[in-house]
Structure 1
Amino acid sequence: MPFWGIEQQNQYFTLQKSQEPGNIIFKNVFSTIKNLLDAKQPPYRILFHKDLESVCLQIAISESREAIESAWDWIKINMLPELENISSSFAKEEYVVKKVNAIVSETATNSDADELIQDNNIRNASRTFKKTFDVPATERLVNYYSCSCNSRQGWMYISENFVGFYSYLLGFELKILIELKEVKDIIKEPIRKLFRHSLRIITKDSKEYLFTNMFKRDEVYDLLIQLASDSIQRLLKSTTSKALKDSTTNAINHSPISRESKPEDGDTLISPSSRTNNPLKTILQHRKQNERFRQLFRLPEEEQLIDSINVTYYFQSTTAKATVEKIKHLGILYLSQNFLCFGSSNDTAVLASDMDQSPCSVILPLYTITRLERINNDTYRSELILTIWHKMTHNFKVDIR
């Protein structure tokens, strides 16, 4: 953690500036520890203390002296007079906390997307990523991982459009930034004694980067593959949209439709409405689940998975001898906006000797369901009996044994 020196102080607030050791050796060691722990902090901060013996509350941080002094002046004008009229020290602290939270919420809603990230580690890593690399302020961090590159331990940062690596060890700095649309190949390297859990990234200009000591290599690989594909798709869509726009400029100019500036399809990774509610990593996982769901049942691209549950599917089949057999499959029941789908699980079916071994897939458009019954009994928590237009019944049982 940095050492702090006092710049300004009054009865309730203290403005401090971080100070690094003067000795060059201690300075390098100090910077190395901060990098390894990912504990970089802005050089300026303001603390609130309700009394001399209480723990201080950090209420403001800044990268520049001008910004922190502006906050200091605002505090003296808008908060100090109110604190003088409050007698209880606990009431003073409560007032400051509520005031600062209100300001942070309003500021975050209007400008800083990082403030809307609920995960403190991701939020701090996002600030470090933007401070370290020359990326747009709107770039959003997905996740970060500890790894090595060129035998130097550091941190890999993965955002919507970039993958970056930063290391600072004993005065030597290594900084790598790769744009995902320039990635040609991502390869899992074989496990070796010295380079375990390795991942190699090859760019279009034939540059290669080997990242080692990556304990979550499979997770990083899947994430990079997904983001690189998204980046290429956005590039192709934007290129196609621009070509179409250039070729139809005259028609658009004479069109009665309003020409207000709107984002092109695919320009953003997710819709703006979902940006402030869910972490980006969770949204990407949901997108991956939706893609697998649509591929499994060959559904339209607009279908989104709403929920799924493990069930046992029963249906009756008439054989050539006119006998009725009751066939059952263990699997998963999926629900989307317009479909109810079932897919059998072969791995689970093997465990039960009475389960039919052949795969089973059922796709029911919701509009074909004419009747729905729910039955509770002792063996199963619930049983759903669906009747469709063709008078065929489908039984789904949720087994809790």
Structure 2
Amino acid sequence: MWLKPEEVLLKNALKLWVQERSNQYFVLQRRRGYGEEGGGGLAGLLVGTLDAVLDSTSKVAPFRILHQTPDSQVYWSIACGSSREEITEHWNWLEHNVMKTLSVFDSNEDITSFVQGKIRGLIAEEGKGSFVKEEDPEKFREGLMKFEKCFGLPEQEKLVTYYSCSYWKGRVPCQGWLYLSTNFLSFYSFLLGAEIKLIISWDEISKLEKTSNVILTESIHVCSRGEDHYFSMFLHISETFLLMEQLANYAVRRLFDKETFENDLVLHDPLQITKRGLESRAHSEQFSAFFRLPKEETLKEVHECFLWVPFSHYNTHGKMCISENYICFASQDGSLCSVIIPLREVIGVDKGDAANRGVSISTKGKTAFRFTEVRDFEQLVAKLRMKCNATSSPQHINTEVTALLFLDVKKSVCVVSCMRNKKAMTKQP
């Protein structure tokens, strides 16, 4: 696999790698302990453990190719391979397609620049369309390679994301990597020759929860086929648990609600499921549930701001949430204030003073809302004006309920509801 060129200090790497081939511009190396009788002894065990704990690609890609220039102490990693055949294929390609060209350059800097550009071009061609939606395509490529090598699952199995964590086997924590894919929860650890490999199907999980006890401050408890599994030491345990919960729920829906699942284009095609997409769905579901909006509403953007509350004559701090059809606000300072504004009811969006970065929204019910301290208020005003123009078509005007606002300020509840449009009422038989 071609790698994004990264600097390597060869002086510090000689103890971990063995040189097998070299020429004027490239070096082929093998990870110490791999392919040696007895696994390379104690040194091989230590290197293998180091690779597993530090998320090194060397555990599943024990061969690599470095680019070098004469009289330079800095080398560049450009390729890795899980087998001698794979890395030899890369080496032969470099000798036949790159080596002859390098001789025409006058400086080492030009040579290195050419090699880096060539490798980046190969990576872009290999991963064209495959990793575009991932947050960090290069890192995800390496994680996917480890996932495929360690577990041997079907090729169509889509890796969503992976995390560093500890798996508790009895009272002993085993440091390794948790892989979340569309159909399986998988864990891999290699410590001093002891390998742990765990594969659990999402539809076999009977319990999934966050727990804590005297030994484990926070952990994720997974129960499958009567066996309990505990994972801890996550960097962001809430984020991990949320994604695990979503994938488990989708597995259940796939079994019992096939019609709905198949109608969802993203979930029906596993290749479309990504970590970013799942997080976005979770936020949209929380948004729709909190404001009691239709489930199909998708949260587009969130802005921290202040809303002027006329009943209490002060500004309350909170978040403005915008979807395709609604502008919503929820306070965060304990005043329990929430607002729902259908975009079809908005007749005006204006900018306030630049000093207070304000946004004023007027509705058909002659109600105005004043939001201040909006970070990108000018861009927000432009976006809202475009949205309101797009939703002011006739089919959106004659609706049964044209506006619904809930204000609950310091336990004083005021409900304002604009009922049916008069034109719509006269058309009724």
On whether the aligned pair clears a TM of 0.5, the verdict is yes
Equivalent residue number for residue 266 of structure 1: 267
CA distance in 2, matches of 1:19, 1:328: 65
Report the Cα offset of residue 217 of structure 1: 4.0
CA distance in 2, matches of 1:115, 1:84: 38
CA distance in 1, matches of 2:345, 2:236: 45
Equivalent residue number for residue 219 of structure 2: 198
Is 1:392 aligned to residue 362 of structure 2? no
Report the Cα offset of residue 74 of structure 1: 1.9
- After superposition, give the CA deviation of every residue in 1:61-82 in whole Å (9 maximum; x if it has no partner): 1112222222222222211221
Counterpart of 1:230 in structure 2: which amino acid?
Y
TM-score (norm 2): 0.72
The 5 A counterparts of 1:20-59 are 20=33, 23-41=40-58, 42-59=61-78
- After superposition, give the CA deviation of every residue in 1:79-120 in whole Å (9 maximum; x if it has no partner): 12211222222111111111111111111116x649965266
Taking a change above 3 Å as real, the CA distance of residues 392 and 147 of structure 1, as seen in their structure-2 partners, is same
Equivalent residue number for residue 289 of structure 1: 283
Q: SS at the partner of 1:11?
A: coil
Q: SS at the partner of 2:357?
A: strand
Taking a change above 3 Å as real, the CA distance of residues 149 and 134 of structure 1, as seen in their structure-2 partners, is farther
Equivalent residue number for residue 164 of structure 1: 186
The counterpart of 1:12, out of the listed 11, 20, 25, is 25
Equivalent residue number for residue 132 of structure 1: 150
**What stretches of structure 1 of length at least 5 have no aligned partner?**
243-261, 318-324, 350-356
CA distance in 2, matches of 1:153, 1:396: 51
- After superposition, give the CA deviation of every residue in 1:190-249 in whole Å (9 maximum; x if it has no partner): 311x3443332112x22222335556544433332222113322344447778xxxxxxx
Equivalent residue number for residue 195 of structure 2: 173
Equivalent residue number for residue 77 of structure 1: 96
Q: SS at the partner of 2:252?
A: helix
Q: Is the 8 A contact 1:199 1:211 kept in 2?
A: yes
Report the RMSD for the aligned CA atoms in angstroms.
Answer: 3.2
Taking a change above 3 Å as real, the CA distance of residues 383 and 217 of structure 1, as seen in their structure-2 partners, is closer
CA distance in 2, matches of 1:266, 1:398: 38
Counterpart of 1:8 in structure 2: which amino acid?
R
Equivalent residue number for residue 424 of structure 2: none
Taking a change above 3 Å as real, the CA distance of residues 121 and 153 of structure 1, as seen in their structure-2 partners, is farther
Q: Is the 8 A contact 2:300 2:323 kept in 1?
A: yes
Q: SS at the partner of 1:302?
A: coil
Q: Is the 8 A contact 2:68 2:76 kept in 1?
A: yes
Counterpart of 1:124 in structure 2: which amino acid?
E
> How many residues end up aligned between the 2 structures?
352
- After superposition, give the CA deviation of every residue in 1:29-65 in whole Å (9 maximum; x if it has no partner): 3322322222241122222212143422222211122
- After superposition, give the CA deviation of every residue in 1:244-297 in whole Å (9 maximum; x if it has no partner): xxxxxxxxxxxxxxxxxx996632368x4xx7xxxx433332222111111122
Q: SS at the partner of 2:365?
A: coil
Taking a change above 3 Å as real, the CA distance of residues 201 and 119 of structure 1, as seen in their structure-2 partners, is same
Q: Is the 8 A contact 2:52 2:189 kept in 1?
A: yes
Is 1:383 aligned to residue 358 of structure 2? yes
**What stretches of structure 2 of length at least 5 have no aligned partner?**
1-12, 376-429
Taking a change above 3 Å as real, the CA distance of residues 31 and 314 of structure 1, as seen in their structure-2 partners, is closer
CA distance in 2, matches of 1:25, 1:114: 41
The counterpart of 2:321, out of the listed 331, 334, 349, is 334
Counterpart of 1:18 in structure 2: which amino acid?
R
CA distance in 1, matches of 2:264, 2:351: 45
Equivalent residue number for residue 225 of structure 1: 245
Q: SS at the partner of 2:213?
A: coil
CA distance in 1, matches of 2:290, 2:138: 36
CA distance in 2, matches of 1:47, 1:331: 52
Q: Is the 8 A contact 2:208 2:222 kept in 1?
A: yes
The counterpart of 1:189, out of the listed 211, 216, 221, is 211
Report the Cα offset of residue 307 of structure 1: 2.0
Taking a change above 3 Å as real, the CA distance of residues 68 and 116 of structure 1, as seen in their structure-2 partners, is farther
